[in-house]
């Protein structure tokens, strides 16, 4: 028992020792944890000490200033966009918002700029416009968003803040804008927030040459350094906004005081300011209407005029598009279309693309006391349009002037064009240089990527060899000379060449632009009405900028004459006489085709002859009856036999027939029509002869312009389609040039000197004459073919027959023209030929075996033996 008790006591003692050891370990762990916790706290405390504290406001209270104050500082509405509407004595700004105007920025600049000191101005959004909600409470995405920009700009720079390097601003989204840079630098300000912009130009201040934003008196942004382009210049407070109404406060008291005393712009010392040069002029404003010719430097002159006269506002479609693009609308440069005079908007905004903005500007511009230049190129050349435009500007408010810019430009204008051409070249060189640099950088990065991949591949191979226990081969080190050579190759730059104008470019008077000055269609309809302005139209003054009035009058007259000879007449109207003659021709052509078909049909030819005999008998019926009543039966019988004999076909030698002397083309005397042997090519040439004859005479009569009695080959297809409502297609004739096919119809139409078409037959020529001319030409060709001249053959391309359709009641044998599916004349581009009841068959040689040859054999040219090939002479 004793032994067991001792053993039990030993186990208890052992357990106690283990428990004590475990407790000791836990206590040590706790101590270590505490120590670590203390260390971490110390580190955090140290970190906190090292962290920078929030910067204290460096701006201090403005000292008292007893210097003379600047004269009344206010917004200058002579230096604003046309949609700015000031109210409440200029303290409240609104904007026009009808139609597309709500998508355009409004902007106005103050009449006083700051060149030293520290000053601020305030603005507050009174209301947000166009904030209608769509279904579900979401804002309507089709409405423009409100925009407010507050900042400073230099005199004469763009009115729009955020446009170009000569301004800087904060916008309502909390961004700081300058040129193409837009960075988040402050807080947003919304409706009822008073936003203040502070400009510090005090060299003694730690925030010198900075601009800051404050909202409701509290700093909302860190001081932003002035862009380098603005340092040292007078900076004018400027406000740009859209779809809001704004309260503007220039002082002298602030609505929301800042944490430090700061003077308002309206309380600035005169020595710290600079007055604007854009000031209201006394007396009438001016409106200038430039008058010039297209493609002769018109818009370059307008740009030069506006550059030299910044007080003038340009009223034009191109400026509306420029305004829209600066207001946030977007379109690729490659999509510019239309003309310089009337460009197409294509901005993707219906309210802008429908040009409703143009109507609003036309209504508001005459109301505002501004000077304008109105470069409406086409309208300013037309007397009626000029008078209409002048009525918008009352003579009591505006001095209305016309400036004619025609002929050889002045030396200053020539230099301006040279400068523009050189700038274009420089821009092109810079673009090519930039493109080349980008390509080189792309190649460099690609080469670097390849080198890294190759290096990774080598390292992987080396690791594999090391793993296999193989000795690693050392790569040959690149020599120092190779490295230096590479560095030289990288550092060497091609010498930059300064672009220069060529001798030909230096001689240019006018610059060719990407778009035409006037669209071709608009020019063709209006150029004949172009005239110089006169005082009778209502102008107070007319000046001639480049050449004298007499020289300009001569120039515009010769220019119009040249256009008449080269431009097509878009305003041409077809006369009633043409329609009558064209209808008569179609009817006659169908009748001739029907007569040829009947002549080639034996049964119909016999019936026709019998009908002719019956007609002859009927003609003598009364005379025969009188003879019978008188008892002269023999005389009556003789009369009837004579009539029957006169109706019988006569024996005529068709080879010796005087074609041009034939009286009746339907029957030359032997029952055969003059066109009996016409094939497809002959009918085609017949129609061509008369159509061109009718076209030329109708054009001269319908246009009624002694300067334009004909037209050239360039516009032939247009007029042909306008008159005959079908396309002109040379492929039908298997030739490449119009003059080739006209050579076959030179008895009717020729190409005169200068490339103008000339009708060879008189206007009153009978239509049968063209049948005779066609037959004469056919016989001439056949004689040449019989003599072995294969080039005399006409080998036209027959249009493909139309797809089979169910037969219509009445048949389709009334077709007449070549390629006409309905028998309404001819068509060179139709896909079908005039339908007939049966194919053409050659005319018989004679009515009796004893009769001499009266026609050409079926194997001759007059038959249907021509297929494919081409026409050659």
pLDDT of residue 310: 87
On average, the pLDDT of the chain sits at: 81
pLDDT of residue 144: 83
Q: Which of 515-524, 694-703, 724-733, 858-867 has the lowest mean pLDDT?
A: 858-867
The pLDDT of 354-370, averaged and rounded, is 92
SS (H, E, C) 641-700: HHHHHHHCCCCCCHHHCCHHHCCCCCCCCCCCCCCCCCCHHHHHHHHHHHHHHHHHHHHH
Q: How far from 154 is each of 28, 504, 549, 556, 831, CA to CA, in Å?
A: 74, 39, 41, 43, 69
The pLDDT tens digits of the residues spanning 735-754 come to: 889 989 999 999 999 998 77
The pLDDT tens digits of the residues spanning 459-513 come to: 888 888 877 776 555 555 555 555 555 545 544 555 566 778 888 888 889 888 8
pLDDT of residue 233: 94
Phi-psi region of 420 (alpha: psi -120 to 50; beta: other; left: phi over 0): alpha
> In the predicted model, is pLDDT for residue 368 greater than 50?
yes
Counting residues of the chain whose pLDDT is more than 90, the rounded percentage is 46
> In the predicted model, is pLDDT for residue 7 greater than 80?
no
Q: Which of 261, 234, 239 is nearest to 249 (CA)?
A: 239
Q: Which of 434-438, 488-492, 821-825 has the lowest mean pLDDT?
A: 821-825
pLDDT of residue 57: 83
Question: Strand runs (DSSP E) across 69-143, as ranges?
Answer: 75-80, 84-87, 92-95, 106-110, 112-114, 118-128
What gap in Å lies between CA 738 and CA 741, rounded to an integer? 6
Q: Which of 88-92, 379-383, 551-555 has the lowest mean pLDDT?
A: 88-92
Q: Which two tokens stand for residue 152?
A: 């400073």
Q: Name the more confident of 808 and 453.
A: 453
What gap in Å lies between CA 7 and CA 14, rounded to an integer? 11
Q: How far from 126 is each of 146, 171, 175, CA to CA, in Å?
A: 12, 16, 21
pLDDT of residue 606: 72
Instruction: Name residue, tokens 């308002």.
Output: 264
Q: Which of 291-295, 729-733, 815-819 has the lowest mean pLDDT?
A: 815-819
> In the predicted model, is pLDDT for residue 294 greater than 90?
yes
For the ranges 132-136, 234-238, 485-489, the one whose mean pLDDT is highest = 234-238
The pLDDT tens digits of the residues spanning 631-668 come to: 777 777 777 777 666 666 667 777 888 889 888 898 88
Q: Which two tokens stand for residue 302?
A: 């307008």
The pLDDT tens digits of the residues spanning 20-74 come to: 555 555 555 555 555 445 444 444 444 444 444 445 788 889 998 889 999 899 9
The pLDDT tens digits of the residues spanning 787-801 come to: 988 888 888 888 777
| Cβ 85 vs Cβ 96: under 8 Å | yes
> In the predicted model, is pLDDT for residue 575 greater than 90?
yes
The pLDDT tens digits of the residues spanning 759-811 come to: 999 999 999 999 999 999 999 999 999 898 888 888 888 877 766 655 544 44
pLDDT of residue 647: 63
pLDDT of residue 832: 36
C-alpha angle 682/686/688, rounded to 5°? 115
What gap in Å lies between CA 182 and CA 147, rounded to an integer? 15
Residue 401, Cβ neighbours under 10 Å: how many?
A: 17
Label residue 698 by pLDDT band (50, 70, 90): very high
> In the predicted model, is pLDDT for residue 444 greater than 60?
yes
For the ranges 396-405, 480-489, 706-715, the one whose mean pLDDT is highest = 396-405
The pLDDT tens digits of the residues spanning 253-283 come to: 999 999 999 999 999 999 999 998 877 777 8
Counting residues of the chain whose pLDDT is more than 70, the rounded percentage is 78
The answer for residues whose C-beta is within 8 angstroms of residue 792's C-beta and 6 or more apart is 780, 781, 782, 784, 785, 861, 873
Coil/strand/helix, residue 262: coil
What gap in Å lies between CA 787 and CA 741, rounded to an integer? 22
| C-alpha count within 13 angstroms, C-beta hemisphere, residue 531 | 12
The dihedral through the CA atoms of 373, 376, 380, 384 has a sign that is: negative
The pLDDT tens digits of the residues spanning 154-201 come to: 998 999 999 989 999 999 999 999 988 999 988 999 999 999 999 999
pLDDT of residue 391: 93
Concatenated DSSP letters of 790-857: GGG-----PPPPPPP-PPPTT-STT--STT-SSSSS--SS-SS----SS---PPPS-SSTTSPP-S--
Q: Which of 93, 250, 238, 86 is nearest to 164 (CA)?
A: 238
pLDDT of residue 345: 87
0.75 surpassed by pTM: no
pLDDT of residue 336: 76
Q: Which of 356, 347, 364 is nearest to 99 (CA)?
A: 356
pLDDT of residue 514: 86
Question: Strand runs (DSSP E) across 684-814, as ranges?
Answer: 749-751, 757-759
């Amino acid at each position: 028992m004793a032994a067991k008790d001792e053993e039990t006591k030993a186990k208890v003692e052992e357990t106690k020792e283990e428990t004590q050891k475990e407790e000791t370990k836990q206590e040590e762990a706790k101590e270590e944890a505490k120590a670590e916790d203390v260390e971490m706290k110390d580190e955090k405390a140290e970190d906190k000490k090292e962290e920078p504290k929030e910067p204290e406001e460096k701006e201090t209270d403005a000292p008292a200033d007893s210097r003379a104050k600047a004269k009344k500082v206010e917004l200058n509405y002579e230096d604003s966009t046309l949609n700015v509407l000031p109210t409440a004595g200029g303290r409240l700004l609104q904007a026009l918002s009808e139609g597309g105007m709500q998508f355009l920025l409004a902007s106005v600049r103050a009449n006083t700029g700051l060149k030293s000191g520290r000053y601020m101005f305030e603005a507050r959004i009174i209301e947000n416009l166009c904030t209608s909600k769509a279904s579900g409470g979401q804002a309507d995405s089709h409405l423009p968003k409100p925009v407010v920009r507050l900042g400073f700009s230099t005199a004469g720079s763009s009115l729009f803040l955020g446009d170009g390097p000569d301004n800087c601003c904060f916008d309502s989204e909390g961004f700081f804008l300058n040129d193409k840079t837009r960075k988040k630098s402050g807080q947003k300000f919304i409706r009822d927030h008073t936003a203040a912009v502070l400009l510090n130009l005090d060299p003694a201040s730690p925030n010198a040459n900075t601009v800051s934003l404050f909202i409701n008196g509290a700093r909302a942004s860190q001081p932003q350094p002035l862009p380098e382009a603005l340092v040292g210049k007078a900076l004018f407070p400027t406000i740009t906004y859209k779809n809001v109404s704004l309260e503007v406060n220039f002082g002298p008291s602030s609505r929301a005081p800042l944490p430090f005393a700061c003077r308002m712009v309206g309380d600035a010392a005169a020595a710290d300011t600079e007055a604007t040069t854009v000031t209201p002029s006394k007396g009438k404003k001016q409106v200038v209407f430039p008058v010039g010719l297209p493609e002769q430097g018109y818009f370059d002159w307008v740009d030069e005029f506006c550059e030299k006269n910044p007080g003038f506002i340009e009223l034009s479609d191109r400026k509306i598009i420029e305004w829209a693009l600066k207001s946030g609308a977007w379109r690729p440069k490659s999509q510019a279309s239309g003309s310089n005079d009337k460009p197409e908007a294509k901005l993707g905004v219906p309210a802008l693309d429908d040009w409703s903005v143009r109507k609003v500007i036309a209504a508001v511009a005459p109301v505002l006391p501004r000077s304008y230049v109105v470069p409406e190129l086409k309208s300013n050349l037309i007397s009626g349009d000029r008078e209409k435009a002048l009525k918008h500007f009352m003579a009591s408010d505006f001095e209305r002037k016309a400036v004619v810019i025609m002929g050889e430009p002045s030396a200053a204008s020539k230099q301006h064009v040279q400068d523009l051409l050189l700038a274009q070249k420089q821009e092109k060189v810079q673009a090519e240089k930039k493109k080349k640099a980008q390509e080189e950088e792309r190649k460099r990065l690609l080469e670097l990527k390849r080198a890294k991949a190759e290096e990774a591949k080598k390292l992987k191979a080396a690791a594999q060899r090391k793993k296999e226990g193989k000795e690693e081969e050392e790569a040959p080190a690149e020599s120092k000379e190779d490295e230096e050579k590479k560095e030289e190759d990288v550092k060497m730059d091609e010498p930059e060449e300064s672009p220069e104008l060529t001798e030909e470019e230096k001689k240019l008077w006018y610059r060719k632009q990407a778009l035409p000055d006037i669209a071709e269609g608009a020019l063709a309809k209006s150029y004949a009405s172009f005239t110089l302005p006169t005082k009778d139209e209502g102008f107070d003054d007319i000046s001639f900028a480049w050449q004298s009035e007499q020289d300009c009058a001569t120039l515009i007259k010769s220019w119009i004459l040249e256009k008449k000879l080269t431009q097509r007449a878009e305003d041409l109207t077809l006369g009633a006489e043409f329609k009558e003659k064209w209808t008569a021709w179609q009817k006659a052509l169908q009748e001739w085709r029907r007569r040829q078909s009947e002549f080639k049909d034996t049964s119909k030819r016999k019936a026709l002859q019998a009908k002719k005999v019956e007609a002859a008998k009927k003609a003598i019926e009364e005379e025969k009856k009188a003879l019978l009543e008188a008892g002269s039966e023999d005389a009556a019988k003789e009369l009837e036999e004579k009539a029957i004999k006169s109706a019988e076909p006569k024996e005529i030698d068709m080879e010796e027939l005087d074609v041009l002397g034939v009286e009746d083309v339907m029957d030359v005397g032997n029952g055969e029509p003059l066109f009996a042997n016409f094939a497809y090519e002959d009918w085609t040439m017949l129609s061509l002869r008369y159509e061109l004859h009718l076209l030329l005479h109708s054009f001269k009569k319908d246009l009624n312009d002694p300067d334009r009695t004909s037209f050239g080959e360039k516009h032939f297809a247009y007029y042909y389609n306008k008159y005959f409502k079908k396309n002109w297609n040379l492929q039908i004739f298997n030739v490449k040039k119009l003059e080739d096919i006209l050579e076959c119809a030179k008895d009717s139409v020729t190409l005169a000197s200068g490339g103008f078409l000339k009708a060879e037959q008189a206007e009153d020529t009978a239509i049968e004459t063209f049948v005779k001319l066609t037959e004469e030409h056919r016989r001439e060709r056949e004689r040449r073919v019989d003599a072995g001249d294969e080039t005399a053959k006409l080998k036209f391309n027959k249009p493909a027959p139309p797809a089979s359709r169910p037969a219509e009641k009445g048949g389709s044998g009334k077709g007449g023209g070549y390629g006409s599916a309905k028998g309404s004349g001819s068509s060179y581009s139709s896909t079908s030929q005039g339908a007939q009841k049966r194919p053409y068959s050659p005319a018989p040689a004679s009515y009796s075996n004893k009769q001499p040859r009266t026609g050409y054999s079926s194997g001759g040219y007059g038959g249907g033996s021509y297929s494919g090939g081409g026409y050659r002479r």
